[in-house]
Homo-oligomer: A and B are copies of this chain.
Amino acid sequence: MPTTPYLQIDLARLRRNIARAAEFAQGAGVALRPHVKTHKSVEIARLQLAAGAVGISVATIGEAETFVRNGVGDVFVAYPLWLDDAAAGRLSDLTGDAAVAIGVDSVEGAANAGRLLGASTVEVLVEVDCGHHRSGVLPHDAGKVALAAVRTGLTVRGVFAFPGHSYAPGALAGAAADESAALREAAGALRDAGIEPRVISGGSTPSLAHSDTEVLTELRPGVYVFGDAQQWELGAMSPGSIALTCRSTVVSHAGDRLVLDAGSKVLGADRAPYATGFGRLPDHPDARIVLLSEHHAVVDLDGARLPPLGSQVDVVPNHVCNAVNLVDSVYAEESGELRPWSVAARGLNS
């Protein structure tokens, strides 16, 4: 057995989550290109591809390299990369084994990418801000950026957005509507510039079920494979569908507090404004983690009896992507035994 704190996967739930999203996409007639930043695991990417995913989304070139090296043949870096010679060379190297696309969100970024990527087959998608106000151009500016890419010899595949403002209570459907409107306008701006978008890509786990598949041709959710306390508290996933937990040990009862050995170095320190604590306990739904340090979670059990010292308690991290990125392996029960699955792209931030 691994030593606590460790992350464990419920394989049945993982498979069910993967199948459900695949069925949703298939039923709606759109492509599914899951974001693998959530799990960074070759095993899980294979399950997603076997269920019908057309390829994967990644955030960094390092993630792309890991998955292409392990046989994934279609990868989209869904990020407005600012390329230098080294980055362009790494992307070009991947095109021998995979279809590769990257994001751009400025005329300068597109021109820079075109200059450095030269005659490679790397394609670009223009990132559009659909209301999250992170990166991405305004929809009506998407044509200008696409045109700048085409002028430097790049092939423009289409447009993409991330409706990250779906991460707020009650915002799920509205964010999906914003995404639909922005992507529709951006696609029109490309057509006005004489460029037909082959792909109109969006999606986030909270907004997934609300995605406008009349407009979108591709979905890129990530967290849906595992779920986490954020999805639970947003009402986007039920506690019973959460497929990853942190197994922890009760180390202290001092002061009648429940203290677990799972801290921010295994759960991550994420705490969204709407979060009710630093993670949730599936076996104690009324409990809240009221204090989190690097190796301590202090739990308010809402009056329930404290689990004994030395006993084990499961915790659902607030944000599973950051939790998984803290460990070298997650553990999956196969044939009655816990086996490590490598977090192969852990820490690959560039």
Q: Interface residues, chain A, CB within 8 Å of chain B?
A: 3-6, 37, 59-60, 79-82, 84, 86-87, 105-106, 108-109, 112, 127, 129, 133-138, 164, 249-255, 257, 259, 261, 263-266, 268-271, 291, 293-296, 298, 309-310, 319, 321-322, 325-328, 347, 349-350
Contacts and interface: CB of A to CB of B under 8 A. Distances in A.
Given A5-B349, A105-B252, A37 B294 contact: yes
6 contacts: A105-B254, A137-B255, A261-B350, A264-B322, A269-B322, A326-B347
Contacts of A294: 37, 59, 321-322, 325
A5 B298 CA distance: 32
B249 A82 contact: yes
A313 B62 CA distance: 21
A322 B291 contact: no
Q: Most B CB atoms within 10 A — which of A86, A135, A254, A266?
A: A254
Residue of A6, A129, A269, A325 ringed by the most chain B CB atoms within 10 A: A269
B270 A264 contact: yes
B293 A164 contact: yes
B134 A291 contact: yes
Nearest to A270: B269
Given A134-B259, A269-B268, A269-B319, A309 B82 contact: yes
A4 to B, nearest CB: 6
A294 B105 CA distance: 18
Contacts of A105: 252, 254
Given A4-B350, A5-B349, 15 more contacts: A5-B350, A6-B349, A80-B252, A82-B250, A105-B254, A106-B309, A112-B309, A129-B254, A135-B251, A135-B252, A264-B268, A265-B349, A268-B268, A269-B270, A269-B271
A188 B80 CA distance: 61
B295 A136 contact: no
Contact of A265 (B137, B255, B310, B325): B325
Contacts of A106: 252-254, 309
A140 B106 CA distance: 64
B164 A257 contact: no
A325 B326 contact: yes
A255 B87 contact: no
A250 to B, nearest CB: 7
Nearest to A78: B295
B134 A82 contact: no
A247 to B, nearest CB: 11
A328 B266 CA distance: 16
A109 B259 CA distance: 13
A265 B321 CA distance: 9
- Which of A37, A309, A319, A328 gathers most chain B CB within 10 Å? A309
B5 A108 contact: no
Nearest to A63: B295
A296 B349 contact: no
Nearest to A109: B309
Given A3-B350, A309-B82, A310-B82, A135 B264 contact: no
A133 to B, nearest CB: 6
A295 B133 contact: no
A16 to B, nearest CB: 25
